[in-house]
Structure 1
C-alpha cells in the first residue's frame, strides 16, 4: 500500500526526483514509483536546478486540468526565475498561442486552430499520409532493413506536416533535426529551439507574402484577425505538437506490435484493427509523458501538498499510464477505461482525430507494403531518447523481405 505524506507537505527542502537523468529514459517506471511514493503530487527536477511538482494521480490530474481559477498556463512569472540557457525553456517558454494562454485569449487562439484544421478533409489527410508512406517505403524497401524511427516515423511526420503547412519535402530533415534537439531538453535544446523558430519565421514570412492552400495561410486569413506574430507562434505550437508526439505514437505502437508476433499477425490479417494498437499506446506508453504544465496563481494546498506560486506543476501522463498498465498486468481492470493522453479540460487536444488518422493510416499502410516486418532486437533492449517530456525511441531496427518500388501488388 502506498504511504502518502502528511497534509500540506512542503517538498522544497527534499531531494527531487531527477527526470533529466539518463536513467529516466532507460527506466522511467522506477522514477514514477519514487514520485508516487510521495503521494498524488511528487517533487522533481525537469533539468538541473529547475524544480517542478509532478501530478501522478488521475483524480488530482483531472482536477488540475479543469481548475482555471487556481492554475494558469502562463509561464512568464516562472521564466524570470530560470537561467536563460535552461534546456527546458524551448518547451516551456511563453509564446502568444493557445498553449500558454488563459481565458479569452486562449479561446480566441483555440478557435482559430479548430476552424483551420476542420478544413482538412479526412480523405485529403489520408492521401497525404499514403503518399508519404509510399515515398519512404520506396527508399527502404530495396534494402530489406530499416530503422522505423529514423527512416519512417520521424521523416513521415515531417513529410505530412510540411505538406499541410505548405513546405516542400526537401525541408523535412531540417524540421526533424530542430524538433528532436528541442524535445530532448539537453545541451542542444537552445539550438533546436532557435532552428525551429527560424524555420517557422521563414514559413510565415513566405505565406504573408503569398498565400497558398495550406494551414498558415488559413490562419493568416482567419476572421479572428491574428497578427503575423500570433500566427507564427500558433504554427510553432501546432507544427511541433503535431510532429514529435505523433512520430513517437507511431514508433511506440510499432515497437509494441512487433514485440508480440501473435498480436502482429492479427493486425496484418485484418482480424484486429490498427486503432487497437494505437489506443493501447495512449493507455500504457503515451508519447508525451510529462507535460500539461500549469502554475499556481497564488500559493495553495493541492491534494495534501503545499504548492508554491511560479513553480511548474506538471501532469505526468506517463505515470498515469504506468499505473493503468500495472493494473492490467496484475489482472485487474483500471479504475477508469479512458486515458488522459489528449489532456482534459479547456486545453484538451483540439485535433486528436487528425492525429489518430495519421498514426493509424501510417501503420496500416506500412504493414501492407511490408507485411513481414521483424524486429532485430527484443523490445527490452531498445534504447530511448533522453528528456523529461517524452517517451521516444532512439531507433527501431527491423528486417523484411526486399521490395522494389515498382513491384506489383502495391496497396491501392
Structure 2
C-alpha cells in the first residue's frame, strides 16, 4: 500500500507542490523543471511518478558531499519499497536487487570487485573490433537508402549487438534486449512489462552460461574466485547489461545530435582536426544521458543543506540539472573546455562507474565508424525540433532522422 507523504514544511521548500518529473513536459523542456527545482534551493522536492516523492539534489557541492558520504547515505531501497505500490512504474529502476548498485559497505565492494575484474579481461582492441563489426553490419543495411534513424537503425541495435556479444548471446537476441530495456527505463505504462521481459532475458542468459561456460562476461562472473551465487550473477548482469546498453546508446545519439546540429563543429570532427572524444565529453558535461539517478536513502531524519530529509524517501542526484547549470555557467563565462572532466555523469565516490573507459571507447568508436562511412550526414529535423522520450531518469531522443549521399559499403 502506498504511504501518504505530507508536503515538506514551508521552512524547507517554497513551492507547495512537487515538481513532476514524470510529466511529458519534463522530456520536452527539462531546463524549465530544473529551474523550478533550483528555485527551491540546493535540494528540490519532486515526484518521480504519481505519488512517488523524492528529494532532488541540483547543487554540485551538495551532490559531491552526498556521493562521498556512505556513512550517512545508503543505496538500499528496501525501507522505501514498502511505501510504494507494487505496480509503480519506477520500481523497475529502483527496486532492491543483490548487486553492486543497491549494496553498501563490504557487500558493495565484493560485487564491485567481480565487475572490475571481469571487465578487465576485455582487451581494448577486441572491444573496438566488436564495435566496428556491429557498425559495419548496421550501416550497410541503410547506407544505400540515403536516409536513416540513427537511434532506431544504429545506436540502439549497435549497443544490443555489442553487449550481447560481450555477455555471450547471439545477434538474433538484439531486438528483444533493447526493446525491453527501453520500456523499463521510460518508467511509463509498459515499464513493468519491460522489466519482466528483460528479467526473463537475463535469467535465460545466466542459465545458459551456468550449463556451458564461454569466453564472455557472464561466464567470467560465474567463475570469479569470490564465488557469486547464480542469483547474484543474474542481478549483476541485470544491472550492467542495462547500464551499458541504454545510456551508451543515448550518449551516442545525444552527441550526434549536437554534432550534426552544428555544421562547423561537424566539419572539424570529420576532417580529423578535432577528436570525437571532445563531442562525447561535451555531452557528458552538458546533456548527460542519465538525468536523475544516483539514488540514496537515510535511515533516520537528517539535516542536509537546509532541508530536513526524512528516512526512506529517495534522495536523487540530478546529473541532468548539474549538467544544465554547468552549461549555463560556461556560456556566461564565454569559454569552452571539452577536456574538463569535472562533470559527474560517472557519479563519484564509492559508487562511481567502474567501467567508464569501456563506455567511452564504445561511444567514440561508434561515432567515428559511422562518420567514416557516411561523412555527409545531415539532420532531417533541426535539433531544436527533435523530440525526447518521457521518463524521470534519462535524456533520450525518440528518433534521430538523418539524410546523406546513398552508397553501398565496400566491406
Q: TM-score, length-normalised on structure 1?
A: 0.95
Equivalence for 2:397: 393
1:403 corresponds to 2:407: yes
The whole-number CA distance in structure 1 between the counterparts of 2:11 and 2:71 is 22
User: Does the 8 Å contact 1:8/1:305 carry over to 2?
Assistant: no
Q: How does 1:236-247 map to 2 (within 5 A)?
A: 236-247=238-249
Q: Secondary structure, in 3 states, of the residue corresponding to 1:272? A: coil
The whole-number CA distance in structure 1 between the counterparts of 2:46 and 2:336 is 26
Deviates more, 1:277-286 or 1:7-16: 7-16
Query: 1:351 is matched with which residue: 350, 355, 371?
Result: 355
Gaps of 5+ in 1: 1-5
The whole-number CA distance in structure 2 between the counterparts of 1:65 and 1:196 is 29
Q: How does 1:13-412 map to 2 (within 5 A)?
A: 14-332=16-334, 338-406=342-410
The whole-number CA distance in structure 1 between the counterparts of 2:336 and 2:185 is 30
Q: 1:352-375 CA deviation, whole Å, 9 max, x = no partner?
A: 000000000000000000000010
Q: 1:11-53 CA deviation, whole Å, 9 max, x = no partner?
A: 5993100000000000000000000000000000000000000
The whole-number CA distance in structure 2 between the counterparts of 1:68 and 1:106 is 11
Gaps of 5+ in 2: 1-7
User: Does the 8 Å contact 1:70/1:298 carry over to 2?
Assistant: no
User: Does the 8 Å contact 2:12/2:306 carry over to 1?
Assistant: no
User: Does the 8 Å contact 1:54/1:315 carry over to 2?
Assistant: yes
User: Does the 8 Å contact 1:8/1:306 carry over to 2?
Assistant: no
The whole-number CA distance in structure 2 between the counterparts of 1:349 and 1:303 is 25
Instruction: Tell me how far 1:8 sits from its aligned partner.
Output: 9.4
Q: 1:207-245 CA deviation, whole Å, 9 max, x = no partner?
A: 000000000000000000000000000000000000010
Q: Secondary structure, in 3 states, of the residue corresponding to 2:333? A: coil
User: Does the 8 Å contact 1:19/1:45 carry over to 2?
Assistant: yes
The whole-number CA distance in structure 2 between the counterparts of 1:13 and 1:74 is 29
Q: Secondary structure, in 3 states, of the residue corresponding to 1:46? A: strand
Instruction: Tell me how far 1:404 sits from its aligned partner.
Output: 1.0
Shift of the 124–277 alpha-carbon distance from structure 1 to 2, 3 Å rule, reads same
Equivalence for 1:3: none
Shift of the 312–334 alpha-carbon distance from structure 1 to 2, 3 Å rule, reads farther
Q: Secondary structure, in 3 states, of the residue corresponding to 1:178? A: helix
- The two structures, once aligned, show a CA RMSD in angstroms of 1.7
Instruction: Tell me how far 1:405 sits from its aligned partner.
Output: 3.1
Q: TM-score, length-normalised on structure 2?
A: 0.96
User: Does the 8 Å contact 2:256/2:367 carry over to 1?
Assistant: yes
User: Does the 8 Å contact 2:87/2:192 carry over to 1?
Assistant: yes
Shift of the 106–334 alpha-carbon distance from structure 1 to 2, 3 Å rule, reads farther
Shift of the 304–332 alpha-carbon distance from structure 1 to 2, 3 Å rule, reads farther
Instruction: Tell me how far 1:334 sits from its aligned partner.
Output: 9.4
Shift of the 180–248 alpha-carbon distance from structure 1 to 2, 3 Å rule, reads same
Q: Secondary structure, in 3 states, of the residue corresponding to 1:63? A: helix
Instruction: Tell me how far 1:403 sits from its aligned partner.
Output: 1.4
Q: 1:52-98 CA deviation, whole Å, 9 max, x = no partner?
A: 00000000000000111111000000000000000000000000000
Aligned residues: 402
Instruction: Tell me how far 1:7 sits from its aligned partner.
Output: 11
The whole-number CA distance in structure 2 between the counterparts of 1:97 and 1:9 is 38
User: Does the 8 Å contact 1:148/1:396 carry over to 2?
Assistant: yes
User: Does the 8 Å contact 2:14/2:40 carry over to 1?
Assistant: no
The whole-number CA distance in structure 2 between the counterparts of 1:334 and 1:289 is 22
The whole-number CA distance in structure 1 between the counterparts of 2:370 and 2:102 is 36
